[in-house]
Amino acid sequence: MAANPNPNPSPELSHLYHAEAHILSGELHHPIKQQIEPYGNVVLANSRRETHLAQSVKETSIEGLISFKSGHTRVIGTQVQNKKDIFGNDHAGFITLATSVLEGLNVVDIVTADRVVAQASSQHAHNAAAGTVEHVPAVTFLGTRFENFRIGGYPVEIELDLEFCANKPKDDRSYLEDKDFLDGVERQFAAIKKTKGLPKDLASEYDSRIANIATLRKGNGKGSSNGHSTLQCSLVKSIGPIPIPGVKVFGNRIFIPNFGTIALAEIEVGVKTTNGGAFSRRQKASSPASVKSNVPSNSHYFTLHMFDMQLGCPVSGTAKGPGVTCNGNSGGPG
């Protein structure tokens, strides 16, 4: 693991970086019982310092049932103080990047992939002159992809919508209280609900997800009373036909007889309340000591898992990865 911590260069602004990445995790139940501890796990945990952490994992086989040739992870927290693109747009802000790459995946010689990449980056824009930082970050999943993903040797065409969360809500609103974002997720669920032959349990699950959206709308982005609000959706736009008898596709999920179910490119968008939120130094100077160290603050996060396998007979268990989370905490009370 490599680390390169440097003091935050800004004289005015402060930010808490948080990012996580891992290659593979899960648990086997049959024919053996074995926990799959997170491979390549790296965590940048609520740090105010610019940091780069990385880890590599060599060829790995889990009892000959799940294997991969190599993998690597990295997390980065950094501040860009002044960066303009060719159109003159300013990209100054606090940026968090989380990346997880898995190469040569093989699951029971049924699901294979040359390369699977999960990558998420969030940016909290700031105005150094005014000493302000946006609470809600913009997010991009650029770089995320499946390469040569196959089932039973047949190539599977997976189209991802990397712009699904790209339109940051206006006026620094949370994604979970933004009408356009909630409408997009609801359309995704409604389309899956219309799929012919949708199993009853899946239909009930999506009914619950749609009900959660209604709760978020009524509560202005608050889905529960415990300080945590979440919403699950997917980057999958479409999955091409798979010429294997009995294989069925429901949105981002693939059912494979005598294997199990795979959910692809699932995202959790969430808001959680934490203490000790980040402030500009100007805000700290004018705040009481008790507020400086223990103020409730909303942290907006995005978690992406490229596959979540629920394995059935003859091999049963779970396998999940590559996975990344990026978020941060800026601007004082959320």
Q: What are 66-80's pLDDT values in tens digits?
A: 999 999 999 999 998
What pLDDT was estimated at residue 183? 96
Residue 293 has pLDDT above 50, yes or no: no
Please, are residues 165 and 120 in contact by the beta-carbon 8 Å criterion? no
Q: How far apart, in whole angstroms, are the C-alpha atoms of residue 222 and residue 231? A: 11
In this prediction, residue 144 has a pLDDT band, given cuts at 50, 70 and 90, of: very high
307 contacts: CB under 8 Å, gap ≥ 6: 116, 262, 263, 264, 319, 320, 321
End-to-end CA distance of the chain: 34
**Cβ atoms within 10 Å of 94's Cβ, excluding its own:** 28
Task: Give the model's pLDDT for residue 51.
Answer: 93
Between the ranges 10-24, 168-182, 217-231, 291-305, where is the mean pLDDT highest?
168-182
Rg (alpha carbons) of the chain, rounded to whole number: 21
Q: Is 247 helix (H, G, I), strand (E, B) or coil?
A: coil
Whether 69 is covered by a domain: the verdict is yes
Say which residue the tokens 């705040």 belong to: 287
**Which of left, alpha, beta for 135 (phi over 0: left; psi -120 to 50: alpha)?**
alpha
**Domain-embedded: residue 334:** no
pLDDT at 135: 86
88/2: higher pLDDT: 88
CB neighbour class for 170 (10 Å; exposed up to 12, middle 13-18, buried from 19):
exposed
Give the pLDDT mean for 241-264.
96
Confidence of residue 332 (pLDDT cuts 50, 70, 90): very low
- Nearest 5°: phi and psi at 165? -110, 20
Q: Given a cut of 80, is residue 169 above it in pLDDT?
A: yes
Q: What's the residue count for the chain?
A: 334
Residue 23 to residue 100: CA distance in whole angstroms: 6
Cβ(264)–Cβ(239) below 8 Å: yes
User: Does residue 277 register a pLDDT over 60?
Assistant: no
The single-letter DSSP state of residue 90 is B
Q: Structure pTM? A: 0.87
Each residue of 19-32: pLDDT tens digit? 999 999 999 999 99
Task: With a cut of 80, say whether residue 15 has pLDDT above it.
Answer: yes
Task: Note whether residue 277 is domain-resident.
Answer: yes
- Give the Cα separation of 88 and 94 in Å (integer): 19
β-bridge mates for residue 183, sequence order: none
Position 286 scores a pLDDT of: 35
Task: For the chain, give the mean pLDDT.
Answer: 86
Residue 9: pLDDT above 60?
Answer: no
Domain range for 262 is: 2-329
Q: Is the pLDDT higher at 9 or at 115?
A: 115
Quick one: 196 exposed, middle or buried, by C-beta within 10 A (0-12, 13-18, 19+)?
exposed
Q: Does residue 224 form part of some domain?
A: yes
Candidates 327, 194, 205; CA nearest to 269 is 327
| pLDDT at residue number 216 | 93
| Contact (Cβ atoms closer than 8 angstroms) between residue 259 and residue 297 | no
Q: Could you give the C-alpha distances from 124 to 34, 153, 297, 327, 331, in angstroms and in order?
A: 40, 43, 15, 9, 9
Domains: count for the chain: 1
Residue 132 lies in a domain: yes
